[in-house]
Amino acid sequence: MTSRQKASAPLRLFIFSAEALKIAFADRAAASGNPDFINVPVERLTSNDYASERRRAIDPRRAQRWRAGVAQLEGAHTRHECDPVPR
């Protein structure tokens, strides 16, 4: 490994981590919900195949906009409310 490659390794790690987080947040936004009411695709989201698929899509040479890798489970205007804590 050359000194230039050694110097760029932390940058590549940072870029890869940032892209992985963007993927995770896109998936979370699409797939979060109450499993009593919707079918959250936990098996797909936690599978090694899905992780490999998403990892291969990362290009460390450029930042990307990510969309969820699973279907949107709720409408964009869904509102969530919590019951107040009983006293």
The domain limits of the chain are 3-57
User: Which residues, including other chains, have CB under 8 Å from residue 39's CB and lie 6 or more apart?
Assistant: 73
What is the pTM for the complete model shown? Answer: 0.71
DSSP 64: -
Task: Look at the block and give the residue holding tokens 């409408």.
Answer: 75
Active site residue 46: no
pLDDT digits (tens, 9 = 90+) for 7-43: 588 888 898 999 999 999 999 888 887 777 778 888 9
Q: Kindly name the residue from 3, 46, 48, 78 that is annotated as catalytic.
A: 78
pLDDT band at 4 (very low <50, low <70, confident <90, very high): low
Task: Look at the block and give the residue holding tokens 């709720």.
Answer: 74
Contact 72, 30 (CB under 8 A): yes
pLDDT digits (tens, 9 = 90+) for 43-77: 999 999 999 999 999 998 888 999 988 877 666 66
The stretches of 1-87 forming alpha helices (DSSP H) are 3-31, 42-45, 48-57
